[in-house]
Amino acid sequence: MSGVPWVINAEIYPLKLRSAAVGQATVSNWLFNYLVGRYFLTLCGIAGTSGAFMVFAGCSVLGGIWMYVMLPETMGLELEEIDALFKDPYPNLGAQAGNKNKKQLEDANSDENSSSDENSSSVEDLLESD
């Protein structure tokens, strides 16, 4: 296993929940590592060595499909932009997901710009009133 799961795991949670969520993910990782180690020989005795590897390969394929469908692309994005991507817990499938991610980022950026414009105008109003 590479470091990719740990990098993604550190990026996808909101800031206020990040430490607790990373801790839970780490416990989950070690729990499943234990379960694989504990039951591998038992599974080899039941299904044979190739059967045991096929069971774990099937779990990996299902996990890979789930990640492809549910995990949006985060390369090159700031943490705030990643947070905006996860506002919708059920992203669209396939090519539509990329368009939706771009739209969500544009909406988030326009909200930030409009709030900064409102803040700057209120500061200008305060300066003019002095």
Q: What's the pLDDT band for 16 if we cut at 50, 70, 90?
A: confident
Q: What's the pLDDT band for 44 if we cut at 50, 70, 90?
A: very high
Q: What's the pLDDT band for 81 if we cut at 50, 70, 90?
A: confident
CA diameter of the chain: 83
**% of the chain surpassing 90 pLDDT:** 25
pTM above 0.75, yes or no: no
Q: Higher model confidence: residue 94 or residue 72?
A: 72
Contacts of 101 (CB under 8 A, 6+ apart): 72, 73, 85, 91
Is pLDDT at 109 greater than 50 in this prediction?
Answer: yes
